[in-house]
Amino acid sequence: MTNNDILRRIRYTFNFSDSKMIAIFGLADHQVSREQISDFLKKEDDPDYQSCSDALLATFLNGLINEKRGKKEGAQPEPEKRLTNNIIFMKLKIALNLKAEDILEIMGLVEFRLSQHELSAFFRKAGHKHYRECKDQVLRNFLKGLQLKYREDSKPDVDQPKAGFVWNPLPGDKVASDEDE
């Protein structure tokens, strides 16, 4: 996944306007223009497309943490110069104040199964013997689960079965009742 794709998905999930995106960058003490935001969100084949660097995405995620959890006193943390999916996953977990159970529930919304041990391996230090690299598929499914959880128009319809035949009788159709047996 590209940083621009991640930025697009976060914006869509939380329905952030350009002004909100600018404000989130500002919470991490970084100024961006509306044009820059627009260029980050364009597709790769657009001539005005601008690539979002690791440092810029890290800055945005730090701003998102400040937005959701509150800004800490003192100097802001330095954004990472090199991002991995594990760091992005961790920053989103922190910003949204998610526990392991919450993440597993979110992953369940997209029917992506992880054990608690697999999940904890993503949040370990890179040198740890149980560290596991977070692949694009895991991050993509997590972002899709966030969309289902947080975006109003993406909520799954819990009243409708996912598959199978559903018979809806028309007026005048004979419907069997317990008395017919």
Residue 118 dihedral angles phi and psi, to the nearest 5°:
-60, -45
Return the pLDDT at 70: 86
Provide the whole-model pTM. 0.80
Residue 48 is which amino acid?
A: D
Residues 73-111: tens digit of each pLDDT: 877 788 899 999 999 999 999 999 999 999 999 999 999
**Buried b vs exposed e over 153-174: b needs ≥16 C-beta within 10 Å?**
eeeeeeeeeeeeeeeeeeeeee
Return the pLDDT at 178: 47
Rounded to whole angstroms, how far apart are CA atoms 148 and 66? 23
Q: Would you list the domain boundaries of the chain?
A: 1-82, 84-156
Rounded to whole angstroms, how far apart are CA atoms 164 and 158? 15
Residue 122: is it exposed, middle or buried by C-beta count within 10 angstroms (0-12/13-18/19+)? Answer: buried
Residues with Cβ within 8 Å of 173's Cβ and at least 6 positions away in sequence, in order, are none
Locate tokens 């041990």: which residue? 117
Query: How is the chain split among helix, strand and coil, in percent rounded to 5?
Result: 50, 0, 50
Return the pLDDT at 163: 46
Return the pLDDT at 14: 94
Low-confidence stretches of the chain (pLDDT beneath 70): 154-181
